Amino acid sequence: MSDEHGRKTVIDLVAGLGMRVYPVGRLDMNSEGLLLMTNDGQFANTVAHPSYNKTKTYEVQVRGDAQKASVLMRQPMKIDSLEVRAVSVKLSKQAEDGGVLLISISEGRNRQLRRMCRQCGLEVVALKRVSIGSLKLGSLKVGRWRYLTKKELKSLRDFNMEN
């Protein structure tokens, strides 16, 4: 919502919208991908708060033993004395020096994926959120936004009620 160095923020992207909206959850400065914006506080809370266990999936390009890490991340690990684990981890592309992992989590703790990767001996090269529940990022370009369709809104509402 703000930046101590005066850099553009996600709010700058929707400045001409005509209403105050705020992000649902967060992406750090070195991450990209799907970020919902809303003016409905309850909706934001039920999608973003860790206690609701909403699944978010990320495409994570890493350096290191991605195959080994994909197994380790499914096991409980400690971050700030809290036990976390990935809901699912798939090695979608393997390279000589790393690979691309599709990692789903439900907690969304501060820099959780980067910290989990570090504990597994991986260096994160790029991190992109590709879905929240059944909602997919698709081909939307970095820095662009769009309204959700009625079908997508229904899916998120159903997602909120079922999970």
Give a yes or no: residue 97 inside a domain.
yes
Instruction: Mention every residue, 6+ apart, whose C-beta is less than 8 A from residue 89.
Output: 69, 70, 71, 73, 74, 101, 102, 103, 104
100-154 per-position pLDDT tens digit: 999 999 887 788 999 999 999 999 999 999 999 888 999 999 888 899 898 887 7
Alpha carbon of residue 113 to chain centroid: 9
Is residue 57 in a domain? Answer: yes
Domain containing residue 32 = 10-133
Per-residue pLDDT, averaged over 81-101, amounts to: 93
Two tokens, residue 26: 């967060």
Whether residue 23 lies inside any domain: the answer is yes
Q: Among 45, 3, 10, which residue's Cα sits nearest to residue 27? A: 10
Residue 69 resides in a domain: yes
What's the pLDDT at 78? Answer: 92
Residue 146 counted as domain residue? no
Give the domain CATH number at 57: 3.30.2350.10
Establish whether 40 is a catalytic residue: no
How many domains does the chain divide into? Answer: 1
* Domain membership flag for residue 2: no
Its pTM stands at: 0.88
Exactly one of 12, 28, 40, 158 is catalytic; which is it?
A: 28
